[in-house]
Amino acid sequence: MYDLCGNRLKKLDKSGTEEYHYNRKNQLICRLSEKDKTAYRYDQQGNLLEVAGAEGRTVFSYKKSLYSPIPIKCAISLTEKASEKLDGVIELLGDIV
């Protein structure tokens, strides 16, 4: 299932159902499945800053380049406290969407 902008809203296959939520800029902000919750965060220029899920958190920073930003990945394991915070963010996103 897709929205009018072409964003995937739901995917159903043998592994289960996944739901996708987007912000007003059509950026993926949340992916939910029976097994996993993943949240995405962007800067004002639209660059992906952070991906947080059950397996941990990946933070991206960017070097200024003549042509485009160059992502620098930094993987951080998700602590219990961060996991609770992620659950709160996803609940908040559910209220927004």
pTM, two decimals, is 0.65
Q: What is the CA radius of gyration of the chain?
A: 15
Mean pLDDT of the chain: 78
Check residue 20 and give its pLDDT: 96
Q: Please report which residue ranges of 4-78 form alpha helices under DSSP H.
A: none
User: What is the layout of strands, in order, in the sheet containing 37-42?
Assistant: 10-13, 16-22, 28-33, 37-42, 48-53, 56-63, 70-76
74 close to 59: Cβ distance less than 8 angstroms = yes
Q: What pLDDT digit, counting tens, does each position of 34-77 carry? A: 889 999 999 988 989 999 998 889 988 877 765 555 555 555 55
Which is nearest to 27 in space by CA: 12, 1, 11, 49?
49
